Each structure stands twice: as C-alpha cells, then as structure tokens.
Amino acid sequence: MTTEAAEAKNRKQTYYARLVRQLALECNTAPEAFTVPGVTLTVSAKPEGVRMYSRETPFFHMATTGNSAVVTADEKLHPFLREWIASAAEPHRLLEFPTLQKLDGALRPFGYRVAGTFHMCLPDGTFPITALPEGFGLKWFRSEAEIAASFYPNTSFPNALAMGEGNPLRPDVIALAATDGETVAALAGASADAEDFWQIGIDVLPAYRGTGLGAAVVSRLAKEIAEMGKLPFYGTAVANLHSQRLARRCGFYPAWIDVDASRIEPEG
C-alpha cells in the first residue's frame, strides 16, 4: 500500500469513527451499538450537538450502518417497536417496504408518519478533484453573510441552499459556484447540520446539466470542508441514481441510512 493510500484509509477510518460518535449521540446510545451486529432500542432524547432538523425531540428515528441499527423513540411507541424489531431477521430488513408500512401504521395514531429513508455518504478519504469544464469559472462564498447577500431569498438552488431566507437551525455556511460569465450555472453548498457535520447539496441549472459541473464543485467543496476540520457528508434519495453516481465520483461512499418520522399536517 502506498503512503497516499494509507493516509486515505486512515482518514476514512477517522471519519467513520466520528460518524459513529455522532449517531450514538443522536440515538441516545453508546458508539458500540453501531459496531456490533443487531438492533438497539432506546428512548429518544435531544442532547446538545445533534444534527438540527427540528427543535423537537424525535418521536421516532432510526439509523443503520448495515449490520447494526439503533431505533430511538418515545416510550409510548416501544411496545410496538419491540415486536417490529423482532419481526426482522436482520437489521437491514427493517427498511424493506412492507416493514416500513407497518411502522407507518403504528405511527399514525400518534399523529406521525414515516418521513422517508435518507441515504447518507461519507468521504472515503481520497478527495479526487474533478476537472472544471473549459470556459467556466469558480467563485467561493465562505460565510453565511456572503451566501445571504448573493442568494437569499433563495428560489433557484433548493438542494444546495435552504429555500427562502435560510434555515437558522442548519445555516448555510459555505458554497462554491461554477460560473458561466455572470451566470451561476451550478452551486454546491453546505449546511452546518451540527457543529462539525456539514451536509453538501448540489444544484445545476437545467441548461448546464450533463457537463460535469456538479462533480467539479462538489469535489472541491468536500475537500475544502475537510481541510477546515469539519466532516462533509452527502445525502441522496435511493431512487436518485444520478446523485449517487456523482457522490461516488467525488470520493463519497454509502455509510449509513436515517429513517425519520414527521408530524401529519392537518388537511386544508
């Protein structure tokens, strides 16, 4: 193994250890719950340092790294969850559609529903930089103030930045644009979902898709965030194959899956 490969492997292992500590904090458990095969059930909590997608304590949340999963939930849901967990032969089978349907049915009497499965990626430590297509430029936005002045109210880049005037729970903290003259053709942005866990999102305007701009800005942004001492991560839907391929091209790999519940909004 070359020195460069060894360093990348060490970075990957370090990033994964940081992830496990973060997930353990959010799931009110010990990090070992994500390294030993099986499913752990805990009572949900919201300590300082968790990723801030809501101010509420989760009614239900599950995180799985493959062979290990932790389900954290309000105690009122625990009688159902014990049977639900026992019904799955392996942790990953909890994410199969019929099993999630049963979970959704149990949540609804409490006013919640399954919000979805969120497929999350970590950097593998290599940080490959994708070439910027000829004729395009790069422009950095290195603070919340710069991002706000240039893009808020945001209507054009819903994946790269928070819509409207931003989200104070998970502020947009850094962004990189690929420009075609004065036009922002592609934008990769990162939100501080937790102090040291920054999630990358990407938008490419329709006229510029398929040119390689997305990978060019995401790869550079990920490397920059890591050099700042933060841990970049990338989320994508299971059906968004294009986004998954882009993540792999930029040195990310599938690391864990989150499953969340959300309140059922009244109709009308």
**pLDDT tens-digit series, residues 200-226:** 999 999 999 999 999 999 999 999 999
Sign of CA dihedral 265, 113, 25, 201: negative
Sequence-ordered strand ranges (E) for the chain: 38-43, 60-64, 68-73, 112-123, 137-141, 172-180, 183-194, 197-204, 231-236, 252-263
Is residue 179 helix, strand or coil? strand
Residue 68's nearest CA partner among 91, 87, 88 is 91
CA 118 → CA 35, 88, 223, 235, 265, distances in Å?
20, 20, 23, 7, 21
Res 57: pLDDT: 97
CA angle (98, 235, 130) in 5-degree steps:
135
Res 93: pLDDT: 95
- Report yes or no: 217 and 246 within 8 Å, Cβ to Cβ: no
Residue 183 and residue 179: Cα distance in Å, rounded?
5
Written out in words, the top-level CATH class of the domain with range 137-231 is alpha beta
Q: First-to-last CA distance in the chain?
A: 61
- Report yes or no: 261 and 60 within 8 Å, Cβ to Cβ: yes
Res 206: pLDDT: 97
Can you list the residues of the chain whose pLDDT is less than 50?
none
Helices 241-249 and 213-227: crossing angle in degrees, nearest 10, is 50
Which one-letter amino acid corresponds to residue 50? V
Residue 213 and residue 176: Cα distance in Å, rounded?
11
Burial 79-107 (b: 16+ CB within 10 A, else e): ebbeebbeeeeebeebbeeeebeebeebb
**pLDDT tens-digit series, residues 119-168:** 999 999 999 999 999 999 999 999 999 999 999 999 999 999 999 999 99
Residue 205's nearest CA partner among 185, 183, 220, 235 is 185
Res 268: pLDDT: 61
Domain-by-domain residue ranges, the chain?
3-123, 137-231
The dihedrals phi and psi of 143, each to the nearest 5 degrees, come to -155, 160
